[in-house]
A and B are shown apart, each in its own frame.
Chain A
Amino acid sequence: MRALCWFGKEDVRVEAVPDPQILNPRDAIVKITTTAICGSDLHLYDGVIPTMEKGDILGHEFMGEIVEVGKEVHNLKVGDRVVVPFTIACGNCFFCKKGLWASCDNSNPNAWMLEKLYGYSGSGLFGYSHMMGGYAGGQAEFARVPFADIGPVKVPDGLADEQVLFLSDIFPTGYQAAENANIAAGDTVAIWGCGPVGQFAIQSAWMLGAGRVIAIDRVPERLELAATKGKAEIINSDTENVVEKLRSMTGGRGPDSCIDCVGMESTGHTPDALYDKVKMAMKLETDRPTALREVITACRKGGTVSIPGVYGGLLDKFPMGAAFGKGLIFKMGQTNMHNYLKPLMDRIEKGEIDPSFVITHRLGLEDAPAAYKTFRDKQDGCIKVVLKPHEVTA
């Protein structure tokens, strides 16, 4: 089959690789009809996530048709249309039973690697480095899905791929971010980053009862989408002092909840942003928490900081004093996907939301290497790229 493979920083290629096989009784093989490039894939593209190996297949947002099931998968059959969550979970361990699916004890074959870095390992992920399990990803024609009896969710007839594809990651991730933000009815929620996760965090904040949603970014078309589709008030961080602006917009109190949808590679024009860029280039720092510092400074006293943006390692100049001094609440982490697929699928089916509004680019798999660059550089109005692995593009 053809698959998008990682070869190094800014080097991804479509290669011919063997087809995936059933390796375990709870596996299934999915013929991928639609897949997407995630903002977190750009961290791999930029080479800032350790334990990648040349030849790894990328991609963790995918859906398709079941073509083979292992002998312990009884709830799916060949021909079923499914969307696959990006976190891999066994469903039976202490953490899965508590709904903490992204902390599954049993799905990362390389758990010892993360244990060395983090103390304990989270779940395995598709296409996201060997410390996260080293599972081949879904920017390919086919993928093997472990624990397929637990993860994939069947798509009701009548819903198009593009309406449900983002249940694989970004819609639940935005939703969990809003849930983690402890939104009470009427609260003001500020959201940093208007990429796809930010857009879904905006939508979800409204669903959970926010009174106001303020969206922050520096890319005009993303701010525009936040304003038009998301009905959010917007702040352009390129032209305005975000903390001051938020203070004045909230009568001097600050937002009740702040959501960092930016993560480890944020940018900015402040002195600390330059400092991070230099330190990261010199490999003295793994993550650039420019946005997160702003989030912590802007948040009201006793407010909640929710972090769906990905962080991988060690942060410099983390304003712990401000976080402590204001008594902030922090919630963060990979999305416990399995909690959200079905309820959010229901919302889509009822017509409450059509997640396809974030898509700007529809391409074939062969176009993926160029699309990574376009997406990373935020060229051509790129917000979300979906790929059709089995369709030949002109």
Chain B
Amino acid sequence: MAENTQSLVAMFDKIWPGESNPDEVNVGDYERIGSVVTGAVFFTYGLARKGLLAKILAPVGGYLLQRGLRGTCAIYQAFQINTARQGGNAKATVHANRAIKVKRAVTINKPVSELYSFWRNFENLPSIMDHLEAVTVKDKDHSHWVAKGPAGTKVEWDAEIFREKENEVIAWKSVEGSSVPNAGTVQFTDLGQERGTEVLVELDYEPPAGVIGAAFAKLFGEEPNIQVQEDLRHFKQKMEAGELPTTTGQPSARES
């Protein structure tokens, strides 16, 4: 799959006339392919039809087409976005400049050890995180994650724990080559004086469809900060109340 992508992109580089400077490439491979396909459709449609829509689509298509073929995007350049650059980040496979960063905390009225051990068994997490379908623990440090992607898709990745201190912190990152590169930590702090435990999650991830994917996710109300906040709320509910409050399945006069 990756090889096909690379050969396709190499072909784009040849199609676009003139010298291309690899340093200027700031659009990732998958995005380039998408750009070319969408651009070609828009451009052809725009030229073949009349009317306002066609007048708009033709130049947009043209722009997308050259963006995909050249691998450079003026808009990304203006916003200093780069979805093409590889490697470099010590933390994990997440690229700082296109990662979505989330930081959320919740205070839970339970001892640290109880919260830590629930979380540490990653297979528990789908019960509190709506967007997770399943987590399979493979060994002490490795696990396989399946999540719901945008618009009914599924995304999967393998993760490894790279730092762990019992009852204090768990840090993980996705393994090299994941479709959703991500890295994160969860920290547990006893607040003392029967004030409970603070659980702090910091998460960096690259959305499946580049920065634009997150924008779409936002439109559908799956904004990452809110998602994590709801996940943490569910964690708290599960640990404190033993169940997640719900009204799904209760009667109303709306049922047919």
Contact = CB atoms under 8 A, between A and B. Distances in A.
Interface of A: 1, 3, 5, 7, 13, 15, 17-21, 23-26, 53-57, 72, 88, 90-94, 97, 105-109, 111-112, 124, 133-136, 140, 144, 146-147
B236 A106 contact: yes
Contact of A55 (B236, B244, B249, B252): B252
A135 B107 CA distance: 25
A55 B243 contact: no
Contacts of B176: none
Contacts of B226: 112
Interface of B: 107, 109, 195-196, 226, 229-230, 233, 236-237, 240-255
Contacts of A133: 245, 247
Contacts of A109: 244-247
Contact of B251 (A18, A54, A92, A147): A18
B245 A92 contact: no
A135 B245 CA distance: 10
Contacts of A18: 251, 255
A387 B241 CA distance: 33
Which 7 residue pairs spanning A and B have beta carbons closest together?
A55-B253, A55-B254, A90-B241, A5-B253, A106-B241, A15-B253, A17-B251
Given A17-B253, A93-B109, A105 B236 contact: yes
A112 B104 CA distance: 14
A92 B247 contact: no
Nearest to A91: B241
23 contacts: A5-B252, A5-B253, A13-B253, A17-B252, A18-B251, A19-B251, A24-B244, A53-B254, A54-B253, A54-B254, A55-B252, A55-B254, A56-B252, A57-B251, A57-B252, A91-B241, A93-B241, A105-B237, A106-B237, A106-B245, A109-B246, A133-B247, A134-B247
Contacts of A135: 247, 250
A24 B236 contact: no
Contacts of B247: 23, 109, 133-136
A135 B248 CA distance: 10
Q: Which of B229, B244, B254 is the most central at the interface, judged by chain A CB atoms within 10 Å of its CB?
A: B254
B246 A20 contact: no
Nearest to A104: B241
Contact of A108 (B240, B245, B248, B249): B245
B252 to A, nearest CB: 4
